[in-house]
Amino acid sequence: MKLLNIIDKISIWSGNLFSAINPIIVFIVVYEIFLRYLFNAPTIWANEAVVYLAAVSYLMGGAYSHYYRAHVRVDILYLKFSPRTRAILDVVTFFFTFLYLGSLVWVGTKYALESLKVLEKTGSPWNPPIYPLKFAIPVGALLLLLQSIANFIRDLNFAVKGQKS
Amino acid sequence: MSIGLITILLASVFIILLLLGLPLAFSTGSVAVLFTLIHFGPDVLIMIVTRIFTMMNNFILVAVPLFIFMACILESSGVAEDLFRSVYVWSGRMRGGLGVATIIACTIMAAMVGIIGAEITTFGMIALPAMFKRGYDKQLALGSVCCGGALATLIPPSVVFIMFGLMAGVSVGKLYIAGILPGLLLALFYSAYILIRAYLNPALAPTAPPEERDISLGQKFRMLTGLILPGFIVLAVLGSIYLGIATPTEAAGTGSLGAIISAAVYRRLSWGMIRDAAIRTMRITCMLIWLFFGASAIIGYYTLAGGTDFVTQGLIGLKLGPIGTLVVMQLIWVILGCFIDWIGILLLTIPLFLPIIREFGFDPVWIGVLYCLNMQISYISPPFGPGVFYLKAVTPEGITVGQIFRSTIPFFFLMVLALVLNNIFPQIALWLPGTMIK
């Protein structure tokens, strides 16, 4: 299915893109240590920027992990079932995933919009705007939800037809 | 509805979802949303979002991806091969020497790597073939790699300690320093066990063939250069934390740079390698952090409903006294450890146990070390022993999961012994952090 492949591509693409954040964080942390301990001139932005960037990467990478089905399960019973039974169970439990991620998208958007309305800032010496970070929650949850829907449709297809599409 | 009934309902729905195979991160989150909606209405859902927002803004949490990144780089840097070689050339004539060398190499590597996956797979690929080639008993070889590799999360830097510190509001630096002696103690037990077994039955652990023994002393010393880079990284990371000049996050950043430099020295550094490490870091980190989010949501609901007080009062009401309570808490960890992994246990039990820990005046740093020791057991306890599955992924054909599980049984008893000692003598964990400047 074309749509499902597009969703997969979005997850992989966002994972690849935001994984670049990690090496960047290493660079900033080391840079800050050099400035502080060697030149006694700490920046006002480094630590905050590190947290900011890392927070974005946590949110945006959830879908990527889910594409690889890397989110851990308790598989004492699960692994004993046939692949088709597993697909059926995944179809059933999907509604709970939907409830959780849907709520995050919905409530998270409201939360971020309120911040956007007043152009909220962090209030630190560096004082960057904070609403983009708040939008990371609904956007990250939406990406994860899309990947869950793609996985769900595949499971449903497998559960009904008995063969992988 | 009474809190007792809510607790039973919440636990039942949660356990059913888990058994049906819904990922832990979504089971916790969805149960939290469902119960909050029914109990408090949709307006309270904002609580879950604000909790997530608070969590992602934590500076120490950044140490998690950084230490994972460092481990991923080190794994493919070639440091471990050199480290292992420079230790095992000294083992020539000694019965069981190669096994002990494996444990020593694992211990040194554990001081650079904070996740067991990276360590067990690395030594599964390096040390295991070496022991098999020399005709080591399969069980002895498998068990030492699996349990030696699991030391990664007890000996700092450990991702488990970061999460524990965040959850319990304890200094991660102190936890790190507290983990050193218990970790070394466990390594000592493993080494002693291998030596005793090899002494009693030399066939289990043959010595090196003559051509490998004929390495001159000078050559052996020259091979020790393999320890310089790891030694430097260990000193930089742990030294700076011990001296209080760096936060775990800063130490992790420096350590990552050290790992990248090592990879460059071994001529393994390339853009492809960094990209690969970054992307693997992403996959592991996001899995962990989404678990963190879900657990935070369910704990948020349960606290709001008055559940944490209910559990605390219930456990105190059992009148087990401090020792009894300590034992019960750890039994719960061991039992849960058979079914869910360390992060799940941590996120679900620590918020409930914390008030009790305070009530009895236990030092939370000590509890953190006990937690990590209990998790050593969870890595190898069937049916869900992550350590065993990591090793299985890199063992040659013909070695079964059951075989690896069996190979860890003697080590299991050593873990229990170390655990009991640490319970009786809190000083093992607490002496070293007590000497820290701040």
Choice between B213 and A70, residue whose per-residue pLDDT is larger: A70
Residue at token pair 């301990």: A37
Per-residue pLDDT tens over the stretch A43-87: 999 999 999 999 999 999 999 999 988 887 777 788 889 999 999
- Look at the block and give the residue holding tokens 């599955």: B389
The reply to whether residue A23 touches residue B69, judged by beta carbons under 8 angstroms, is: yes
pLDDT at A2: 87
pLDDT tens-digit profile of A147-165? 999 999 999 999 998 776 5
> What token pair was written down for B225?
């250069």
Confidence (pLDDT) at A80: 85
Contact yes or no for B282 and A57 at CB 8 A: yes
> What pLDDT sits at residue B438?
59
Evaluate if pTM is beyond 0.95.
Answer: no
**pLDDT of amino acid B136:** 93
Q: What is the DSSP letter of A122?
A: -
Distance of residue B318 Cα from the nearest chain A Cα, in angstroms:
30
pLDDT value at residue A165: 57
**Phi and psi (nearest 5°) for B432?**
-65, -50
| Nearest-10 Cα torsion for A100, A102, A105, A111 | -70
pLDDT in tens, B232-267: 999 989 988 898 888 899 999 999 999 999 999 999
| A119 touches B at CB < 8 Å | no
B271-277: long-range pairs with CB below 8 Å, 24+: B273/B73, B273/B76, B274/A23, B274/B73, B275/A19, B276/B72, B276/B76, B277/B69, B277/B72, B277/B73, B277/B75, B277/B76
Residue numbers of B between 38 and 57 with CB closer than 8 Å to A: 45-46, 48-50, 52-53, 56-57
Q: What pLDDT was estimated at residue B311? A: 86
| Whether residue B329 has pLDDT greater than 90 | yes
Query: Which 69-128 residues of chain B touch chain A by CB within 8 A?
Result: 69
pLDDT tens, residue by residue, B51-86: 999 999 999 999 999 999 999 999 888 889 889 988
**B23 in reach of chain A (CB within 8 A):** yes
Query: Among candidates B158, B166, B174, B165, which has minimal Cα distance to B244?
Result: B174
Whether residue B281 and residue A54 make contact (CB cut-off 8 A), yes or no, is no
pLDDT at B217: 82
Cβ–Cβ below 8 Å for B56 and A58 = yes
Min Cα separation A41/chain B (Å): 16
Say yes or no: B269 contacts chain A, CB-CB below 8 A.
no
- Cβ atoms A10, A146 nearer than 8 A: yes
B24 touches chain A (CB under 8 A): yes
CB A33 within 8 A of CB B250: yes
- pLDDT tens for B124-163 read 999 999 999 989 999 999 999 999 999 999 999 999 999 9
- pLDDT of B363-389, one tens digit each? 999 999 999 999 999 999 987 788 998
Q: Which two tokens stand for residue B108?
A: 């040194």
Tell which of B14, B19, B20, B36 to mutate to test the A interface (max A CBs under 10 Å). B20
What is the model's pLDDT at position B258? Answer: 92
| Partner-chain contact A72 B287, CB within 8 Å | yes
If contacts are CB pairs under 8 Å, which of residues 333-362 in chain B contact chain A? 339-341, 343-344
> CB neighbours of B283 closer than 8 A, spacing ≥ 6?
A15, A61, A64, A65, A68, A70
Give the three-class secondary structure for B319: coil
Quote the radius of gyration of chain A (alpha carbons, Å): 20
Could you tell me how many residues make up chain B?
Answer: 438
Distance CA B262, CA B269 (A): 9
Q: Is B396 on the interface with A (CB under 8 A)?
A: no
Measured torsion, CA atoms of residues B247, B253, B255, B257, in degrees rounded to the nearest 10: -150
CA within 13 Å, CB half, B138: 12
Decide if A30 and B58 are in contact by the 8 Å CB cutoff.
no
State the pLDDT at residue B417.
97
Taking an 8 Å cut-off on Cβ atoms, the answer to whether B24 and A47 are in contact is no
Q: Could A77 and B19 be called an inter-chain contact, meaning their C-beta atoms sit closer than 8 Å? A: yes
Q: Which of B27, B285, B384 sits opposite A58 (nearest CB)?
A: B285
A74/B19 touch (CB, cutoff 8 Å), yes or no: yes
Q: What is the b/e burial string over B338-366, where b = at least 16 CB atoms within 10 angstroms of the residue's CB?
A: ebbbbbbbbbbbbbbbbbbbeeeebbbbb
Token pair of B91, please?
Answer: 């083992």
Residue B286: which of A62, A76, A99 has the nearest Cβ? Answer: A62
Do the chains contact at A57 and B294, CB–CB below 8 Å? no
Interface of A with B in 27-86 (CB under 8 A): 28-30, 32-33, 37, 47, 50-51, 54-55, 57-59, 61-62, 64-65, 68, 70-78, 81, 86
Which of B33, B274, B343 has its CB closest to that of A103?
B33
Confidence band, pLDDT 50/70/90 cuts, at residue B316: confident
Q: Which residues of A touch B340 (CB under 8 A)?
A: 74
**8 Å CB contact of A26 and B61:** no
Cα–Cα–Cα angle for B60, B66, B68, rounded to 5 degrees: 115
Summarised one tens digit per residue, pLDDT across range A89-148 is 999 999 999 999 999 999 999 999 999 999 999 888 899 999 999 999 999 999 999 999
Residue B418 is predicted with a pLDDT of 97
Q: Which two tokens stand for residue A94?
A: 């999907």
pLDDT for residue B308:
84
**A129 — phi, psi (to 5°)?**
-65, 145
CB-CB neighbors (< 8 A) of A23 in chain B: 69, 274, 278
| CB-closest option in B45, B57, B250 to A107 | B45
Q: Do the chains contact at B45 and A108, CB–CB below 8 Å? A: no
Residue B213 pLDDT > 80: no
Extended beta strands in B160-201, E state: none
Query: Are B391 and B124 spatial neighbours (Cβ–Cβ below 8 Å)?
Result: yes
Name the DSSP class of B209.
P
Query: What confidence score (pLDDT) does residue B20 get?
Result: 92
**Closest residue, chain B, to A16 (C-alpha):** B279
